[in-house]
Amino acid sequence: MADIEQILGDLNKDSFVSLLTNIIGESKYVQNNPPDLIPEEDRVVKHVLNSLLPYSTTTGGGPLIVNHVSYYPQRGNLIVEYPGTEQGKILSFVGMHMDVVTANPNEWEFDPFSLSIDGEKLCGRGTTDCLGHVALVTELMKKLGETKPKLKSTVVAVFIANEENSSITGVGVDALVKDGLLNKLKGGPLFWIDTADKQPCIGTGGMIPWKLHVTGKLFHSGLPHKAINPLELGMEALKEIQSRFYKDFPPHKEEQVYGFATPSTMKPTQWSYPGGGINQIPAECTISGDVRLTPFYSVKDVMNKLQKHVDDINENIEKLDTRGPVSKYTLPEENLRGSLAVTFDEASSGVACNLKSRGFEVLCKATEKIVGHVKPYSITGTLPLIRELKDEGFDVQTVGYGLMATYHAKNEYCLLSDMCQGYQIFTSIISQLED
């Protein structure tokens, strides 16, 4: 039904840039870094409503059904529907979160909290992730409301308050699913618009944050034979745990099918100790890090295995490699042993999208048509909410039209031409699903 694409036309660049200017102007107030910075997503909702209400049933100006849903003050979600003619036939665009990561203006080449334009570059915090997508999908829904094409499918857009990196839970997709407000979206493909580079992202990783607390014995560094050095114990123990991890969870054959850039990994990212003089061997230290797990392995299995390995090392700590002639992890004359304890923060599972679904099929066809090629990819970055949606029975596919190179980065920007292609892909998907 090429006529649907003709009716919806191309992205209205002037309208899109005007809306994005207003939304990026709110980015300072939707930074997400609790407890200091709690996003106020309703600041963004205000601008989306200003664009869509004139074409809504709320004002009598059009067919759009608009539902502003809040579970916490100033942290609203927005569900917008363009009704179709066939009951139960649904197409949805979800995942356009209305918060941003933090930005320090002193470290940027331009003001992160206002939109600046440099040729095709649209510069500012949130242009790639994810306020650019908020504006893009708003323009799509606005065009549906303006042109009123006759569609079989109901088209739904869900702009969300983001629960990730937040001390306040139950404000976004989780709450909407719990309340049954998204149940109807199971009637068709759900496109999660929150990645980058215009290609289908077909797999994401799980994440297991871990802490390895190491206990030794404090003593003067000039008498190391009377100490149990927790730093050395931690390094050797972690080396052994990592070695066992990679034997337990080697590269999986499905990772090549999905195009994962890396297999599952376990690595340290932080190290802390209570402090002290440089001539003092400390009593304890903590190594922290994460496991990034491809979706073909179980998060629970990994946590159980790591706990088992730590227990085994504690029982056989004498067998662990030492560092130098007086390095040791036991002091038998004092009945002391070094020890390890592993703990885990909240973990999340990755997702492997259904490569045989109708949603994947139409996304690939639309991408090839508009971009000129289709090359799905996978990353071990996390999108925990989409795993939960898939487990709930949704046909989830993920894609985005910002730039991975500027994702969460300083001097973030997106390209207007990419957003224009994203709009065309959306209209192609709508058209295909009408056939």
The DSSP bridge pattern shows strands 201-204 and 377-378 to be parallel
Sign of CA dihedral 362, 363, 364, 367: positive
Distance of CA 108 to the CA centre of its chain: 23
Whose tokens are 């191309």? That residue is: 10
Burial of 385 (0-12, 13-18, 19+ CB in 10 A): buried
Q: How far is residue 407's CA from residue 404's CA, in Å, rounded to a whole number?
A: 5
Structure tokens belonging to residue 236: 């050797």
Q: How far is residue 337's CA from residue 159's CA, in Å, rounded to a whole number?
A: 54
Cβ neighbours for 335, distance < 8 A, ≥ 6 positions apart: none
Contact 85, 150 (CB under 8 A): yes
Q: Of the listed 5, 26, 99, 139, which one is catalytic?
A: 99
Structure tokens belonging to residue 10: 């191309």
Q: Of the listed 40, 41, 139, 163, which one is catalytic?
A: 163
The DSSP bridge pattern shows strands 336-337 and 284-293 to be unpaired
Contact 59, 53 (CB under 8 A): yes
Q: How far is residue 326's CA from residue 256's CA, in Å, rounded to a whole number?
A: 47
Assess whether 163 carries a catalytic annotation.
yes
Assess whether 315 carries a catalytic annotation.
no
Q: What angle do CA 22, 27, 29 make, to 5 degrees?
A: 115
Contact 105, 204 (CB under 8 A): no
Preceding amide of 130 cis, omega within 30:
yes
Annotated catalytic sites, by residue? 99, 163
